[in-house]
């Protein structure tokens, strides 16, 4: 496949391994300060689905970043995220998005709702003091020369017994942040970005970006 030719004098391009416009916008501004143009996978329609079969968030992020760097000849960034519940030995973890695929969907239910239903059932008898959890994001950057960087961001919280809030997605309605007294689904987008695991991972990546690209 290979990269598309760069125009003379153009900013170097970095590929974010997603087609999610929101994720691309989130990193585009900060990376612009390093003279980088961030593009998503829509710029490379020949790249299909990448199987994420790693045992950790870091492994999955690296799988995606390596595949995209190899396919495009450009530096690639990828991430993997999920919810880890202490009482469930870290589950659903890397299986967060597919956690309830073994259950049938109820009428009017979507996958997020089904995942929450399964999780709350698994935690039904767990006392309040043993409902600790955390959102985790791992980000990986891979250069065409094989140099790699991984960072992690975590957002600690408590798992509620019932959903609250209508913002966000995934497990946000049952993830309670005691520092602000609200669930992730009760925060505005700006508030969530400032506190979230993904925001913390992005900050860690940007803090090391100059050294990573300059080495």
Contacts of 48 (CB under 8 A, 6+ apart): none
Q: Where are the beta strands (DSSP E) in the chain?
A: 13-16, 37-39, 75-85, 132-142, 148-159, 175-177, 182-183
Are residues 134 and 121 in contact, defined by beta-carbon separation less than 8 angstroms? no
What residues are paired with 83 via a beta bridge?
135
42 catalytic residue (yes or no): no
Q: What angle do CA 162, 137, 169 make, to 5 degrees?
A: 35
Give the three-state DSSP class for 9.
coil
Q: Pick left, alpha or beta for residue 177 (phi over 0 → left; psi -120 to 50 → alpha; otherwise beta).
A: beta
- Within 84-151, where are the H helices? 111-122
For residue 195, give the H/E element and its range.
Answer: helix 189-195
Q: Which of 42, 79, 80, 211 is catalytic?
A: 80
Integer distance in angstroms from the first to the last C-alpha of the chain? 26
Which residues are known catalytic residues? 80
């Amino acid at each position: 496949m290979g990269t598309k030719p760069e125009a003379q004098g153009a900013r170097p391009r970095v590929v974010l391994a997603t087609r999610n416009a929101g994720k691309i916008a989130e990193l585009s501004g900060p990376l612009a300060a390093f003279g980088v143009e961030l593009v998503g996978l829509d710029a490379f329609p020949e790249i299909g689905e990448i199987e994420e079969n790693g045992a950790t968030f870091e492994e999955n992020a690296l799988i995606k970043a390596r595949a995209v760097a190899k396919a495009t000849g450009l530096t690639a960034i990828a991430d993997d995220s999920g919810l880890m519940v202490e009482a469930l030995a870290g589950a659903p973890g890397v299986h967060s998005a597919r956690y309830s695929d073994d259950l049938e969907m109820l009428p009017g239910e979507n996958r997020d709702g089904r995942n929450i239903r399964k999780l709350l059932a698994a935690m039904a008898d767990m006392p309040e003091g043993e409902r600790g959890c955390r959102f985790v994001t791992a980000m990986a950057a891979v250069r065409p020369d094989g140099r790699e960087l991984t960072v992690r961001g975590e957002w600690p919280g408590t798992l509620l017994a019932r959903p609250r809030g209508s913002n966000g997605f995934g497990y946000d309605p049952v993830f309670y942040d005691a520092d602000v007294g609200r669930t992730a689904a009760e925060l505005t987008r700006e508030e969530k970005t400032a506190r979230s695991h993904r925001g913390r991972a992005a900050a860690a990546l940007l803090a090391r970006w100059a050294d990573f690209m300059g080495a």
